[in-house]
Structures are given as C-alpha cells and as structure tokens.
Amino acid sequence: MPLDSLLIEILADPTDKGSLLWFEDESILYNPRRHVVFTVNDGIPVLLPDEGREVDDAEHERLMALVDSAVETGSTSA
Amino acid sequence: MADPSQVFKAYDIRGTYPDQIDEELCRAIGAAVATFCGTSTLLMARDMRPSGVTLTKAFAQGANAAGVDVIDLGMASTDFLYFAAGSLDAPGAMFTASHNPAQYNGIKLCLAGAKPIGRDTGLTEIEELTRGFLAEPATGGTGGLTSREMLPEFADHVRSFVDTSVLRPLKVICDTANGMGGLVAPLIFEGLPFDVEILYPELDGTFPNHPADPIQAENLVDLQAAVLAAGADVGLAFDGDADRVFLIDEKAEPVSGSLTTALVASAILDKNPGGTVLYNLICSRTVPEVIAEKGGIGVRTKVGHSFIKQIMAETGAVFGGEHSGHYYYRDNYRADSGIITAMIVLELMSVSNQPLSVMLEPFQRYVASGEINTEVPDPAGAVEAVAEHVIAAGGTVDRLDGLTVDCGDWWYNLRPSNTEPLLRLNVEAPDAAACKAHVDEVLELVASLS
C-alpha cells in the first residue's frame, strides 16, 4: 500500500530524528544508522521507539542492497 | 526524548514535529489523558496535517494501554470534535495546530460535554502524568480502537441553528486555506440554496497557498479579489482547523470580530429575547451597546476561551463572541464554531435582503486600533505604572484583564504578555484620526513611565 507523499516528506526516526528509508514492497520504514525497522499498517507508520525492531547484519546488508528502490523520508523536516 | 514542558502551553499542546512533539510523547499523552479523564472511552480526531496520522495512532495506543477505548472520528474540524464530545458526552482530543505553520502539530483537549481543559482545569495534571508515562509507558490495558462516522450528524446539528426554509441563493465564496473548512463547508452547505465557491479546498497541511490565519490582512487578499470578481454577497475565511471564521462583505471589506459579534448577537437576541450575551473586554463598545438595544444582558469577560466558556456555564449565556474570531454557542455545548457563525450570518442576510455592508452600517460606530504590541522590559510593571498615573490624575481604572481606562469618547486596554516582554495595547475612538492620536498618546505615556 503506498504511503502518502506528504508523510514521506516529514517522517523521521523517533530516536535520532534522522531520515528513514521507505521500502514500499515490504511496507517498512528502515533506519540504516540504527539498524531498526518500523512497520507500516494500512498506510499508517508505527513510529514508537519500542515498536522498532532491530535487525542483524545480514538483514541490514539485504536492505541496503535494495536501497535504490527505497525512498528517503524527511527531506523537509523542521 | 521529547520534553513535555516545551509543548504543554496555557490552553493546549503544541510543538514542531518530530523534534518537539513525536509519537512517543503522544503515546504518553494518550495514557495520561485516559488516566486523568477516568472514563471508559476517549474520542479522537485530527486535522489535515500529515504528522497527525502517526501521532493519533500513537495517542490511541497509549490510551488503550491505560485501559481506555478510543473512538477515531477521522479527519475533522475542531468544532466537530467539540460537537462529538458534547453529544456523546465523552472526553476528546483534537490533533491540530490551528493556523501554525506546517511543521507544527498539537492537541486541543476537552472533557466530556466539551468542557475545556486548560492549565487550571487539568492540563497541569496531564503534563505530570505524561512525564510519568514517558519514563514508564503504560502496559497491560486492553482498550480498543474503533472508527465512527459522525459528520452527517454534525451537519444536521449546524443546520439546526437556522431556519433553512428562509435561506436565499446568496453567492458565497469561502477561503478554507487548504484547512479543514474544505471538508466541513461543502458538507454543511450541501442541499442548501447558496451558490458556493471554495478557494483552496484541497486538504493540505503544508498550506501551499497562504497561511490559514484569517486575522492577518494579507491572508484575505485572495478572498477579497474573488468576492469582487464574482460579485459575491459575502466571503468567508476559515482558519486551519475551521473553528474561527472571518467575514468579508460584498465590497471586499473585512468585518472585524467585534462587528461580527454584534451582528450575531442581534440575531441571537431576536430568537432569545432577554438572553445573556458575553463579549471580551477587547471588543468594541458597539457590542454591549447593541446587546442593550436588543434587550439582552451583556456580560464582559477577560480575554481567553476558557473564561468565556466558564462564564457561559455560570450565567446560562446563549452566545459569546471574541474580537479574535471565536464565537461560542450555548446550544453547541458552549463551544465555538466557525461554520455555525457563518450559517447564522447567511440566514440574517437571507432575511434582510440587503447587502452585508448596508446591514453592518448601524454597527459601524467607532474605530479600533487592533492589537498593538510594544516591547518593554517589564510589561507587568509598566501596566502598574500607568494605572497609578491614571488614578493620580483622577481617572478610574478597570483591572478585569490588565488595565482598561475609560476616557469618555475613547478607551484603551493594556495587557502584559505572560510569555514575552510585550505590552498589548488596544484603543477605540470615534474616528481614525482620534484613534491614531490616542495610540501615540498611550505609547508615549508607557515609554515615559517605563
């Protein structure tokens, strides 16, 4: 399910406030700096710090290999 | 981690997303509000700001974890949320930052029955509870989240304030500034005989056209041009969450909050003879004069919505208006509404069959300066110094809110800002020249005593 373009512009990691990578095919937002994945349910990102799931190195490598298909969020954050 | 003290204000919660207000904070606030209100259900709605999507989700999770069910009313105007809180008799949280720029969001809270929550009526306690839930999130509660569609009921409620059978096909232009008026206005006007055109109806929390703050003259320019170009009967400018409305007459002249209060008061008193009407002390002298002329009882209040609502409850007042474009109705659970105000004015125009500028002529009695802010090092001290000076000169002072001085055919009010080194001055005089002269006079007095 696509994410609203206005959401993509503003969303940030709840802990470091930096940008996230939106992987639409997998319906996840990923922070490559902290190796944390946030789910998106029915178009609504769940951005609570303790709902983020830390991934291992292998998963990080897999996602970074797909980075060209991802959209970076937070281009207009305050 | 977000700091509650940065975002908990005097009447609401407000900050920039995601640095000051974020999902974690909203989850804690959800648990705090649920705990404070102590009811089994909370209502929740949001305006069109994109961050509201994730913030409301987090708020609901917090409330659920504290054992309270949440009913998500979806995207709506603030007055809709108050209607829901009143008609369902449940506390409510409206996610909005009104007219603030796009990166802001916030929450306006109310108790069941749309009773206000301000600093002294729960907001301080909720802030403390929020700190607790930030440190230790609520867990274990089994509250649930459901959705409910109530906009059609709200439309019926708004229309009930007028006799729809007398409405004429007026040409109405609305500027909803990409705010929630774009959702609410078409809904309310559907099936009514008005010829309605809406500027910037797309809901867009980035406010791509102009700020959703109609009290600033530059934000009325597009509406003024549209009213003249279309030969419209009236222009209606709504703010971001559509709880405020400003009128433009058929000549594209803005109608002040005081004049609108006087106009609506006259209509309300025709339907409610002898009723009590509230007005704040910044309003024009025209307002209490019109209330008295229509046989009503006028009650003067301090500036601020919590005062109007409280005194409305105490006096049973049927209507209250502020210079700032907030209009409160007893039969709207004592909450303010832009669209109800618009409907009452449109009904008046339909019955009167005169241009709005002509209808307003009897109320155009004085000239107001508008609020003039001056920087002074000690605003409260400056007010005291002026009060002493006036008393020493044999004058009388009114201390209801700051300092109000009656100078015969003109008056002024000075109020210190609580948060900035500013003094706020309002002057009203018989004409523009006198008003300007008196503004200079008071500012010189302040400067000489500071």
Write out residues 11-40 of B within 8 Å (CB-CB) of A.
16-19, 22-24, 27
Outline where DSSP puts E strands in chain A: 21-23, 28-31, 36-41, 44-45, 53-54, 71-72
Residue in this structure with the two tokens 């929390």, named with its chain if needed: B205
Looking at residue A75, what is its pLDDT? Answer: 61
Cβ–Cβ gap B50/A6 under 8 Å: yes
Pairing relationship of beta strands B41-46 and B92-95 according to DSSP bridges: parallel
Tokens at residue B260, please?
A: 């609108």
A5/chain B closest Cα distance in angstroms: 9
Q: How many whole angstroms separate alpha carbon B220 and alpha carbon B238?
A: 10
The whole-angstrom distance between A12's CA and the closest CA on chain B is 7
Please state, for a pLDDT cut of 90, what percent of chain A lies above it.
74
| B175 has a pLDDT exceeding 70 | yes
Q: Specify the pLDDT at position B417.
A: 85
Q: List the domains of chain B with CATH numbers.
A: 4-149 (3.40.120.10), 153-253 (3.40.120.10), 257-338+345-363 (3.40.120.10), 367-449 (3.30.310.50)
pLDDT (tens digit, 9 = 90+) per residue, B355-411? 999 999 999 999 999 999 999 989 999 999 999 999 999 999 999 999 999 999 999
**Run of H or E including B443:** helix B432-449
Where along chain A do its domains lie?
Answer: 5-72
Residue contact A77–B53, C-beta within 8 A: no
* Chain B partners within 8 Å of A14 (Cβ): 18, 22-24
Pairs across A and B, CB distance < 8 A: 54
Binned at pLDDT 50, 70 and 90, residue B305 comes out as confident
Q: Is B318 helix (H, G, I), strand (E, B) or coil?
A: coil
Asked: is A5-72 a CATH 2.20.25.10 domain? The reply is yes
Which of A29, A38, A47, A51 to probe the B interface (max B CBs under 10 A)? A47
| Average pLDDT of the segment spanning B7-23 | 94
Report pTM. Answer: 0.91
Nearest to B158 by CA among B288, B365, B342, B340: B340
Q: Which residues of B are catalytic?
A: 98
Q: What would the 3-class secondary structure string for B22-87 be?
A: CHHHHHHHHHHHHHHHCCCEEEEEECCCCCHHHHHHHHHHHHHHCCCEEEEEEECCHHHHHHHHHH
pLDDT in tens, B197-247: 999 999 999 899 999 999 899 999 999 999 999 999 999 999 999 999 999
> A14 and B23 in contact by Cβ < 8 A?
yes
Q: Count of CB atoms within 10 A of residue B171's CB?
A: 16
B53 touches chain A (CB under 8 A): yes
What pLDDT shows up at residue B179?
96
Q: How far is B61 from chain A (nearest CA, A)?
A: 10
